[in-house]
Structure 1
Amino acid sequence: MRITLVGSRHFGVTTFNMLRQHGVDIVRVVVHDGEDRLAAAAKTAGIEAVVQANPKFVAATEIAPDTDLIVTAHSHARVTREALAAARLGGIGYHPSLLPRHRGLAAVEWTIKEGDSIAGGTVYHLADRMDAGAIAAQEWVFVKKGETARELWERALAPLGYKLLGDVIDYAKTHKNLPAKPQDEQFATKAPALALAKH
């Protein structure tokens, strides 16, 4: 399975390493910044790294030829419809909430702010609307009393992301398609960036 990985930072690098352990062929890495640690990891592994022409979007030309699946990991760029069409199975991303709850950039912060006792992670199909694509995999975790957003992310939600992405990749390798369950729009909530949100 040929994968184009779009991402950045620590979560991008650890997803990169996890994908390689799952025996897929990462054919290209797409980053918004050529100095990003994910670009450095790709270069070290001898994998092509491409910098987005526009940091807000991933264009079809930035997806490697013959890509089976686009995977995003800590990318705030929207993968365009044309880019998704360039991959046989489209694209998936990980969102640190139980979608459709907390759609947006600050899902973990809103989980804490709203006092949720249960959080979770979702691997979802990339779509035109932010965090609104069909669900490929989802699992919940408890939130500890007094836990900060960063503590919750590091303790539970980041590790859950690697596990769920790995599960979906393994499913796609076996079945040559992706699970897809539509999100229930009546439960959708927004998680816009908070003024002081640090992640």
Structure 2
Amino acid sequence: MPELRLVLMGTGPFAVPSFEALAAAGYAIATVVTRPERPGPGNRPPEKSPVRQWAEARQLPVIAPDSINTTEAIETVRGVQPDLLVVCDYGQILKPAALAAARLGGINLHGSLLPAYRGAAPVQWAVLCGDQETGVSVIHMTPQLDAGPVITSRRTPIAAKETAGELEARLAELGVEATLEAVAALANLAQAVPTQAAPGEAAPGEAAPAQAALGEGLRGQPQDAQAASRAPRLSKADGRIVWTRPAAELEWHVRGMQPWPGAFTEVPAGEGRRAQSTRLMITEVEATDRAVPEQVAAGTVEIEGDVLLVAAGDFYLRLERLKPAGKREMASEEWLRGRPLRAGTVLH
């Protein structure tokens, strides 16, 4: 295996399997870059990111700059003389000067089949959109978000009941082989790039001098920008269930919002002893083929024995599992035993 000196950049759990594989393969890891630790809620101490925990367990040097694009951070990375930056689930966009800190620039493992779902939440959006297939891509990075040429990719079907969290764990493992393949390819190509070539300062949108020496064809397959789609970061508010949507889309919504931010609805005030509306987290549903009558409002509850149905925009949605406010997750039939609501209630 040709020698290659790596700087690994990551924060979340998606990066850990590939980083571990690179370490186990014997690549020289000069340092690990991760996001700074943030104070927890209340008086809780800051939590270490999964990547930091992994790096410290392997006794690897770790840096956590507030921004990787500052002169100080770039000089720190350049100072360890890396051949290649390997980026995954890091959380910051690298500008041209940061990419130029390594002789061969950077590669990024992304959780979609690019150019589909460029952005911070590709796995969630694949589920939210009802896709039947997704995968991972390794790109040679450019300053544009997730727009670099694709070096290699892997495909996988999305299971009918698979949540975004379950899919993300599978894609993290699927990405191991793709990452190893991409790094090995660049390790072989690196022999064509003079080691004394200084990374230099790249102009906006351009590769560093040593990266350019690889040639466009050697850096991967260019993406079709016209086919690109976005996967913006989710917020807590995105979890709200809009009952006027079709039942199939609401099933995708519940799966795509797990484990965070979670799909939720509001039970209106006046049910039982409640003086105000309460939030109900929905964790598992199934679309039925039972059409909702025209006169029934979306969000209307129907109870048939221990089966909890809610009217969506076209068909009824069966609620299988849920988590009431302040309680544990449970099957809907268990929740119904406490008579928390009656038929005809309209969730919102």
Compute the TM-score of the two structures, normalised by the length of structure 1: 0.89
Do the aligned partners of 1:39 and 1:49 also contact (CA within 8 Å) in 2?
yes
What's the secondary structure of 2:119's corresponding residue? coil
The 1-side partners of 2:66 and 2:169 are apart by 31
> Higher helix fraction: Structure 1 or Structure 2?
1
| Matching of residue 48 in structure 1 with residue 61 in structure 2 | yes
Cα RMSD for the two superposed structures: 2.0
| Matching of residue 25 in structure 1 with residue 28 in structure 2 | yes
What's the secondary structure of 1:139's corresponding residue? strand
Higher RCO, 1 or 2 (CA under 8 Å, sep at least 6)?
1
The 2-side partners of 1:38 and 1:147 are apart by 25
* AA aligned opposite 1:91: G
Partner of 1:150: 165
Partner of 2:96: 81
Match of 1:190 among 206, 220, 230: 230
Greater shift, 165-174 or 4-13, is seen at: 4-13
Equivalenced residues, count: 197
Match of 1:16 among 14, 19, 37: 19
Compute the TM-score of the two structures, normalised by the length of structure 2: 0.53
1:144-166: CA deviation from partner (whole Å, max 9, x where unpaired): 112111111123x1111111001
Greater shift, 183-192 or 168-177, is seen at: 168-177
| Matching of residue 163 in structure 1 with residue 203 in structure 2 | no
The 1-side partners of 2:117 and 2:142 are apart by 16
The 2-side partners of 1:195 and 1:70 are apart by 29
The 1-side partners of 2:187 and 2:29 are apart by 14
Partner of 1:124: 139
Partner of 2:5: 2
Structure 1 or 2, whichever has the larger Rg, is: 2
What's the secondary structure of 2:176's corresponding residue? helix
Q: CA deviation at 1:10?
A: 2.4
| Matching of residue 61 in structure 1 with residue 101 in structure 2 | no
Q: CA deviation at 1:57?
A: 4.4
Do the aligned partners of 1:7 and 1:74 also contact (CA within 8 Å) in 2?
yes
Partner of 2:125: 110
What's the secondary structure of 2:54's corresponding residue? helix
Greater shift, 62-71 or 36-45, is seen at: 36-45
The 2-side partners of 1:41 and 1:103 are apart by 27
Q: CA deviation at 1:88?
A: 0.9
What's the secondary structure of 1:27's corresponding residue? strand
Q: CA deviation at 1:118?
A: 1.1
The 2-side partners of 1:144 and 1:44 are apart by 34
